[in-house]
Amino acid sequence: MSAVLEIDSLSAGYGGRNVLQDVALVVGPGEIVTVIGHNGAGKSTLLRAIFNLVPRREGRILLEGRDVKQLAPDRLLAAGIAYVPQSRSVFPGLTTEENLNMGGYLLRDRVVFAERMERVRKLFPVLQSRAGQLAGSMSGGEQRMLEIARALLMDPKLIMLDEPSIGLAPKLVDAVFQTVRLLRDEGKAVLMVEQNVRKALAASDRGCVMELGRIHIEDAASRLIDDERVTRLYLGKR
């Protein structure tokens, strides 16, 4: 399987301190890889470093074999990497439809934009029924789906999700992870950071455990769920 994303010897941080240390990671097409770990382990910094939002970085970041480490975030988006941050990023005073239109601001071909918009509407029918509703008045789960749908308008090769289920009711958590599986079924590569360890691993193909800025364990997600170290440290079992 050829890699969509390949990270090699990535170290990154702020000021004089590295948060990430010599990280190596590969994500293939149609694959969900979830990074778990305690708060402060460097998980969110990893996604931000890939998206060139961390000031100091060393190592290589390859997208389908192309070194993209020096690209600014808007050029990374155009190249095929989408990033949905942990904090809500919808425009609350705009309607759902207007938020989606903002997602295609880099597209100049209106025919392509219309085709992608139609595809997104089919993937997320709830958003079509909320087209005229202000995004800020929607539920947390609907806002998260809107953020993901907006990212899909650029037809990214890789989608990075930072804590997609944070702050959501259990029923909405299930809906978000079902959406993540839909992305995989569409052939997208998904790199996800998530605190809801059991549900995230259940939705994933592979998992990585990050501690103190390094990846210490990497395995098939199904095996990590039953790994004694993971169950003891992250699933609350002994």
Tokens of 46: 């990893």
In whole numbers, what is the pLDDT of the chain averaged over residues? 91
Higher model confidence: residue 87 or residue 222?
A: 222
Domains and CATH numbers, the chain: 5-87+157-234 (3.40.50.300)
Confidence of residue 94 (pLDDT cuts 50, 70, 90): very high
pLDDT digits (tens, 9 = 90+) for 31-82: 999 999 999 999 999 999 999 999 989 999 999 999 999 999 999 999 999 9
Place of tokens 């595809």: 119
The 3-state DSSP composition of the chain as helix, strand, coil percent (nearest 5) reads: 40, 25, 35
Question: Could you read off the pLDDT of 186-227 as tens digits, one per residue?
Answer: 899 999 999 899 999 999 999 999 999 999 999 999 999 988
Contact 107, 153 (CB under 8 A): yes
Checking if the pLDDT of 236 tops 70, the result is: no
As to burial, measured by CB atoms within 10 angstroms (0-12 exposed, 13-18 middle, 19+ buried), residue 55 is exposed
Whole-number Å distance between alpha carbons of 187 and 157: 8
Q: Both tokens of residue 183?
A: 């992305």
Q: Residue length, the chain? A: 238
Q: What is the dihedral of CA 123, 129, 132, 134, to 10 degrees?
A: -80
The yes-or-no verdict on residue 237 having pLDDT over 70 is: no
Position 138 pLDDT exceeds 70: yes
* Model confidence at 2: pLDDT above 90: no
Residue 1 has pLDDT above 70, yes or no: no
Enumerate residues 6+ apart whose C-beta is below 8 A from 62: 3, 5, 6, 7, 8, 68
pLDDT range class, residue 135, cuts 50, 70, 90:
very high
Q: In the prediction, which pLDDT does 44 show?
A: 96
